[in-house]
Chains A and B, each alone.
Chain A
Amino acid sequence: MPYLMRSSRRSRWYPEAVQPWLPPNEPPADCLSDLETEHNELSVWLIDDDRANLERVVAALASKRQSLVPFDCRLVPIGRVRQLRLQLSQTPGDSHDHEANQLWHRDLQFLSAGRLTSLSRCLWRRGESRRFSPAQVRKLLIAGIQQGRLNRDDLRPELAFKLNLD
């Protein structure tokens, strides 16, 4: 089953870091910082069931950043999200990998605050965190440039400098 992926900050989702006052199976409210909506829509990425496109999507998203830092994301089986009856639409993504933008970007639409909370619970209970280290991100970015999926001129100068592309 394919996955939906949302970039996140891994430390906000540590299961061991829950507070005693938190009800069982409830995510801490800080997790919502990773679910910032725009026009009541949440940008997510469709990841193949074998995760073959995960690294490419990570490179696509990391290419928009200013610095070379770990890339954290949350993955959840798409079937779990479908159970919430949320509208999932194929829309163009905003990364520097234009093919990835067309193929794998999705928006969860018509999100109310309540639906977003349901999604955060789903990500908390059914999702998993992944981290790509800065060294891994660097390799993926360089591979993306070498294979023509990313254009080095699109990168921010600070990031290009860190990649030692010159």
Chain B
Amino acid sequence: MSSVDTVRPVAEPTFEGSATTVQPTPRREWVFESTGSSARDEEPFAGARGMGGSTEKPPPNLDGPIRLRAIVRALFRAAHDETFHDGMESAFSRGVCLLVETEGTAAVEVIGELMTESPRHSEAASEALRWLGWVEDRPTYAARLWLIEKSLQHPSPRVRDAAGIGISAMADPHAIPPLKAAIARETVAELRDDLKQVLSEIEGLDSCPT
């Protein structure tokens, strides 16, 4: 049985999806809800699950980075129940973008931590990277670019491909050295070609007269 998780505080703005809902409040309070639990849920805040519909346990007091980590973990867990389609938003991508916009650099850092935590997160990590490149949020720009560049070294080719797509979206010449390094060590031929294509496009932009 899979769990369908909801991370939901109380106020606008609201972004709703089929499996996951993420809503921030002005005070950035977040509530966890879930319709069930599964064997793969092993985070230390398992008590946060099973709330929502049932009221078996009171909500835990989650503060600061620990609270943020639990939110991101719930997002990643819910992503297991989604199928992602290129170029189309998902409940997960909306949640990731909203978290970054509301929680800032700290959210990017926690997303980065979870991406490397388990191979199980590869699909969600890949989806997160694809959208992190598109987020229109100046304050987190450097952190997002750093995470995307770092993900070029991820063990999963799927995640490395998404990192290339994220870099393509950001089109930042600062990514050229890590991109060149990634091309040099890439073992998947198709991925290496795609990274070369991204590199040539960014170098082309970089050499354009302004």
A152 beta carbon closer than 8 Å to chain B = no
Category for how many chain B residues contact A: 20 to 34
Q: Name A133's contact: one of B123, B130, B197 (CB within 8 Å).
A: B197
Q: Name A14's contact: one of B88, B168, B169, B188 (CB within 8 Å).
A: B188
Q: A10-B194, A12-B158, A69-B165 known; A17 and B188 CB under 8 Å?
A: yes
As a 0/1 sequence over residues 119 to 135 of chain B, the CB contacts with chain A under 8 angstroms (1 = contact) are 00001001000100010
A40 beta carbon closer than 8 Å to chain B = no
Q: Which residues of A lie under 8 Å from residue B134 when comparing CB positions?
A: 67
Question: CA separation between A72 and B161, bound complex, in Å?
Answer: 12
Q: A11-B162, A65-B88 known; A133 and B198 CB under 8 Å?
A: yes
A96 to chain B: closest CB distance in Å? Answer: 13
Q: Name B157's contact: one of A14, A36, A65, A131 (CB within 8 Å).
A: A14
Interface residue count for A (Cβ, 8 Å)? 25
Q: Are B86 and A70 in contact, with the CB atoms below 8 A?
A: yes
A49 to chain B: closest CB distance in Å? Answer: 23
Q: Are B87 and A11 in contact, with the CB atoms below 8 A?
A: no
Q: Are A7 and B86 in contact, with the CB atoms below 8 A?
A: yes
B206 beta carbon closer than 8 Å to chain A = no
B21 to chain A: closest CB distance in Å? Answer: 19
Q: Are A72 and B191 in contact, with the CB atoms below 8 A?
A: no
B200 to chain A: closest CB distance in Å? Answer: 9
Q: Name B168's contact: one of A7, A72, A129, A133 (CB within 8 Å).
A: A133
Q: Name B201's contact: one of A16, A17, A135 (CB within 8 Å).
A: A135
B172 beta carbon closer than 8 Å to chain A = no
A134 beta carbon closer than 8 Å to chain B = yes
Q: Which residues of B lie under 8 Å from residue A83 when comparing CB positions?
A: none
As a 0/1 sequence over residues 62 to 83 of chain A, the CB contacts with chain B under 8 angstroms (1 = contact) are 1001111111100000000000
The 7 closest A-B CB pairs, nearest first, are: A65-B87, A11-B161, A11-B158, A16-B188, A69-B87, A17-B157, A67-B87
